[in-house]
Amino acid sequence: MTSPTNWRGALEMVRRTLTAVGRQQTGLYPIEGIRLHERALRAGLTFELTVLAKTLAQEKSPRLQELLTHLPPATRHLQPIPDATMAGLVDGRGLGHLISLAKIPPDTNLAEIVTAVPHPLLLVAHEVVDPGNVGAMVRTGHASGATAFIAIGVSDPYHPKAVRTSMGSLFKTAVCHYPDAANLLPTLRQLGIETVGAAASDGVPLPLATFSERGTAVFMGNEYHGLPADLLRQLDQRLTIPMSAGIDSLSVNAATAVILYEVRCQVSRIKYRAISSPDT
């Protein structure tokens, strides 16, 4: 892609990536703020273009100067944009008035990544609407050692809010997209991956659940309706997190953290038994 030669052209490109249609058409997504830029560069990302507020461009802080030296030459020499224009883009967020565009990577080959690890753990976001929740789930999955993040339907890890909320975990996470669960389930069965789904009630209490040593895909549903009943019937297990009386559900990210922690603990016990058992 050829970078725009003036700040107005760059600004228009950034604005396009703020919408799902624009990201699809350009194949780019925005990264905002100094900290996220630093984490993106450490993860090996490159940027197609960068815009920064004129005031920020005049700063001489070593941190900013170090960051700018790692940007492509065409990006480094891009004319800064007016402070007021940048303020409109960042909508009052104090992350550092700096935005770059990175290429949306191709989907991870699920078969390759699953067969490369002994106990694959897949986090599946099924029609999760709020991009803040999607980003938080990416971060939780990364912290929990998830092998991949699978986005189904409207779940969009490259939405600007999702990128910010992931706090850089997106840059180190393998991502796959599926239009619906019907396209994903046959692949998981073929790979021998157990499928489990979170349900507010009538599932196996999480402390009593056991998980397959072959690997597990954890399905988390929409914030408002959870996982559809017909999808839950197709999964190997339906899980329910015990809660206090009068509470019908946790937030989707909190529930994700609880379930992934339990799966991770079981996988750790399996690994420990394998190491500590005497050779036969």
Residues 123 and 99 in one domain: no
Residues 165 and 94 in one domain: no
Q: How many structural domains does the chain have? A: 2
The listed range with the strongest mean pLDDT (37-41, 94-98, 276-280) is 37-41
Q: Share the mean pLDDT of the chain.
A: 89
Residues 94 and 120 in one domain: no
Q: Is the dihedral of CA 240, 241, 246, 250 positive or negative?
A: negative
Residues 99 and 124 in one domain: no
The predicted pLDDT at position 221 comes to: 96
Region for residue 27 given its phi and psi (left: phi exceeds 0; alpha: psi -120 to 50; beta: otherwise):
left
Question: Looking at the domain assignment, is residue 1 inside a domain?
Answer: no
**Higher per-residue pLDDT: 213 or 122:** 122
Cβ-Cβ contacts under 8 Å for 65 (sequence gap 6 or more): none
The predicted pLDDT at position 55 comes to: 86
Each residue's pLDDT tens digit, 134-180: 999 999 999 999 999 999 999 999 999 999 999 999 999 999 999 99
The predicted pLDDT at position 23 comes to: 97
pTM higher than 0.75:
yes
For tokens 């007021």, the residue is: 84
Q: Is the pLDDT of residue 84 over 80?
A: yes
Residues 270 and 131 in one domain: yes
Given the DSSP bridges, would you call strands 148-152 and 49-52 parallel, antiparallel or unpaired?
unpaired
Residues 119 and 226 in one domain: yes
Q: Is the pLDDT of residue 60 over 80?
A: no
Question: Looking at the domain assignment, is residue 159 inside a domain?
Answer: yes
Domain of residue 229 covers 110-276
Out of 63, 86, 103, a domain closes at 103
3-state helix/strand/coil string of the chain: CCCCCCHHHHHHHHHHCCCHHHHHHHCEEEEECHHHHHHHHHCCCCCCEEEEEHHHHCCCCHHHHHHHHCCCHHHHCCCCECHHHHHHHHCCCCCCCEEEEEECCCCCCHHHHHHCCCCCEEEEEECCCCHHHHHHHHHHHHHCCCCEEEEECCCCCCCHHHHHHHCCHHHHCCEEEECCHHHHHHHHHHCCCEEEEECCCCCEEHHHCCCCCCCEEEEECECCCECCHHHHHHCCEEEECCCCCCCCCCCHHHHHHHHHHHHHHHHHHHHHHHHHCCCC
